[in-house]
Chain A
Amino acid sequence: MAGDTSEGAGHLLSPTALPRRHQAGLLGLLALAVAPLLVSDIDTLKLTSALFLAVYAMSWDAVSGYTGQISFGHALFFAAGGYTTAILNVHYGVSPVVGIPLGVLVAALAGLAIGVPALRVRGPYLSLITLVAPLIVLQLFVYFSGFTGGEIGLLGVEQFTPDPTANYYIAFGVFLFALAVFLAVTRSDAGSVFTAIREDEDAVVAAGLNPAKFKIFAFVLSAAVGGFAGAVFAHTVAAGALTPSQILALTVSIEVIIAPILGGMGTITGAAVGGLFFWLLRDQLRQMETVIPLLDVAVKQVDLLVFLLITLGFLFFLPEGIVPRLLREARRLGSQPSEATTTDGGRSPLEASLDGFRDQFERLRGGDRK
């Protein structure tokens, strides 16, 4: 989406002059801004959680979707932020105002810790490292459960406010912040370099740029914002008890991969939409009373299974994601041909990452495929 940078800031003053897809985006934000006024408290709580997942998904997308360095363990960063502030708060009485920035710092350091090996270890090997890192941390957490709360969770974390609407707006603020930061970075020159690394790392080197610097920057930025969201999460949605299943478990890492891929990888906006969509779909299935024919069970009893099967279907049949597909359909129906030009030869980010991965595999395997 390199075309996004072409619009000047002045256009922002008059929404009618914006391209249709930006108008749609603003409408979406507006809907999110007024949502708590229209729905019940319970739904507000749910939307709050959905917003956090959207932020996590954007955080993953900023590094994996853009630079093509696929992380299978992004939960590590959310947990670094969340648990830092929660542990400081519970055990040492540190205020969230101090705890959250420290959480961001620890998360950024975690990003550095994963980003540096990423310079040496590539492709599937990097994915294995990222997959395993949070598992190691989780096991240590369970082992030192007296300090971390283990699987039951860390109880007594200070909550900013019990009011669902206020919590929602805190989450919405984090969401807007993350969206703004990630959009700004990915639509800047640095974002172009990220994309270039995904497309062809050797070309980046040939252009005299140091991919290592940008990769580390991407990891640290993503981890810091993800950690920030995790830290705020600990003091809002977690409601006094922060558990690994909320921000550290393998399922969380998988969710933040699936959500951006469903929404559209390497677009940030797609990740945000994917995160919201993912959470709400999951929630719908959890309550669905419809009985599945033949098996004679209600959907809500087998919600995870149904959800996974739907995900499998999406991954298989709509690999480019919802947002890019909608944009393509919209373009096909409407006009705006100038935006259809892309700088990457028309490959989708997923395709480009995949190609990068394939190159890595070929290199690993002696590299004579085709």
Chain B
Amino acid sequence: MVNLVNIAVNWLLLSALYALVAIGFTLIFGVGGVLNLAHGANITIGAYTAYLLTTSLGASVWVGALGALVVPGLFSLALYQGLVSKVEEHPITVMILTLVTALVVEQVFVVGVGTTPRTVSSLLRGSVTIAGTSVRTNRLLVFVLSWVLIGALFAYITRTRQGKAILATSMSEKGAAIVGIDDGRIFTLTWLIAGMLAGIAGLFLASFTSAQPFIGRSPLLLSFSIVVLGGIGSIRGSVIGAYLVGLLDVVTVSMISTRLSGLLPLVVLVVVLIVRPEGLFGRELVE
């Protein structure tokens, strides 16, 4: 007997996490026009930063969380400034370079920490009961935090001057340049934000399961599907896309087989690309 409440809770929680990853991916693509295949590396770095800070240095979980936000953010920033911005005019080089970078990051952790999965401590211990199903408090907190971050980003993009500049650049680089927006700064900013969001998602993910060098792969693949489904560059689309893709995945995993995890979203990706390449919400950014 499949526990429907369990599935629903899983779906709500995981999808929020996927949305965090996908938003960063779509932000970089929507604003800079770059497919960042190293986006998954931020997840890995976030997970391991938290692990190393809490385990090796004995810091509190919250310091670990701060590290998982800052370190991947800086990595993402450095990747953009050091490598991607130099070849930005060549999207295919960017794809290959970021893909190789993603593999390099994985290998750094394979060599440095090893492939053994590492436990990352939960942000909160204990569990609560929802509709007869026990849910760990940590997962609930992660759900709330994910939505707080998504909401904060949404407010930042639509309300603040800097956020509006990001929006403007994604709509029209020329127009943005005319009103005095420095697109280089905007691109750097989006990479920083994307890195931070994915990094903290890495910590969240690792606290559910464990940290391992390839932890960033499947969320990145899901992000492709989410972003294509939701429409590239659309934050709202990403959130809705994350919930659709999350539903597909959770249902496949709990009703058919865990070994098919991630398969249906990829099939959806291919179908959407062929049938409706503009996605469900077109290519607009947030509204």
User: Which A residues lie at the B interface, using CB under 8 A?
Assistant: 70, 72, 117, 120-121, 123-125, 127-129, 131-133, 135-136, 139-140, 142-143, 254, 257-258, 261, 297, 301-302, 304-305, 308-309, 311-312, 315-316, 319, 350-351, 353-354, 357-358, 360-362, 364-366, 368-370
Contact = CB atoms under 8 A, between A and B. Distances in A.
B96 interface: yes
24 contacts: A70-B95, A117-B270, A121-B274, A121-B277, A123-B91, A127-B92, A129-B270, A133-B270, A135-B266, A136-B263, A143-B257, A302-B111, A304-B103, A305-B110, A312-B101, A315-B97, A315-B100, A316-B86, A357-B92, A360-B91, A365-B283, A366-B172, A368-B174, A368-B175
Contacts of B224: 128, 131-132
A143 B91 contact: no
B83 interface: yes
Contacts of B111: 297, 301-302, 305
Interface size class on chain B is 35 or more
A357 B277 contact: no
B96 A315 contact: yes
B174 A358 contact: no
B12 interface: no
A257 B273 CA distance: 22
A206 B97 CA distance: 34
Contacts of A117: 270, 273-274
A312 B100 contact: yes
A301 B107 CA distance: 11
B266 A304 contact: no
B96 A257 contact: yes
B189 to A, nearest CB: 18
B93 A354 contact: yes
Contact of A369 (B90, B96, B110, B174): B174
B171 A366 contact: yes
Contacts of A319: 87, 93
Contact of A261 (B87, B96, B277): B96
Nearest to B174: A368
A175 to B, nearest CB: 25
Contacts of B263: 136, 139-140, 143
Contact of B95 (A127, A140, A304, A308): A127
Nearest to A254: B99
B161 to A, nearest CB: 22
Nearest to A128: B224
Contacts of A120: 274, 277
B16 interface: no
Contacts of A142: 259
B96 A128 contact: no
Given A308-B107, A316-B87, A136 B266 contact: yes
Contacts of A143: 257, 259-260, 263
Interface of B: 30, 33, 35, 83, 86-87, 89-93, 95-97, 99-101, 103-104, 107-108, 110-111, 170-175, 221, 224, 228, 232-233, 257, 259-260, 262-263, 266-267, 269-270, 273-274, 277, 283
Nearest to B107: A305
Nearest to A68: B92
Contacts, number: 130
Contact of A361 (B91, B260, B266): B91
Query: Which of A120, A139, A142, A353: most chain B CB closer than 10 A?
Result: A139
A350 B269 CA distance: 27
A50 to B, nearest CB: 21
A353 B97 contact: no
A305 B100 CA distance: 10
B171 A305 contact: no
B237 to A, nearest CB: 15
Given A357-B90, A368-B175, 6 more contacts: A117-B273, A124-B35, A136-B263, A254-B99, A305-B107, A357-B91
Contacts of A353: 92
A315 B262 CA distance: 31
Contacts of B30: 365
A64 B267 CA distance: 23
Contact of A358 (B90, B100, B104, B257): B90
Given A308-B104, A316-B97, A128 B273 contact: yes
Contacts of A135: 221, 266
A87 B263 CA distance: 23
Nearest to B259: A143
A124 B91 contact: yes
Contacts of A365: 30, 33, 170, 233, 283
Nearest to A297: B111
A117 B260 CA distance: 25
Nearest to A135: B266
A354 B104 contact: no
B255 to A, nearest CB: 15
Contacts of B83: 316
Contacts of A131: 224
B93 A364 contact: no
A124 B33 CA distance: 10
Q: What 3 pairs between A and B have smallest CB-CB spacing?
A: A354-B90, A305-B107, A357-B91
A135 B270 CA distance: 11
B88 to A, nearest CB: 10
B202 to A, nearest CB: 20
Given A136-B267, A308-B104, A312-B97, A121 B91 contact: no
Nearest to A70: B92
A86 B260 CA distance: 24
Contacts of A125: 228, 273, 277
A370 to B, nearest CB: 8
Most buried by B among A70, A120, A361: A361
A350 B92 CA distance: 9
A131 B269 CA distance: 11
Contacts of A257: 96
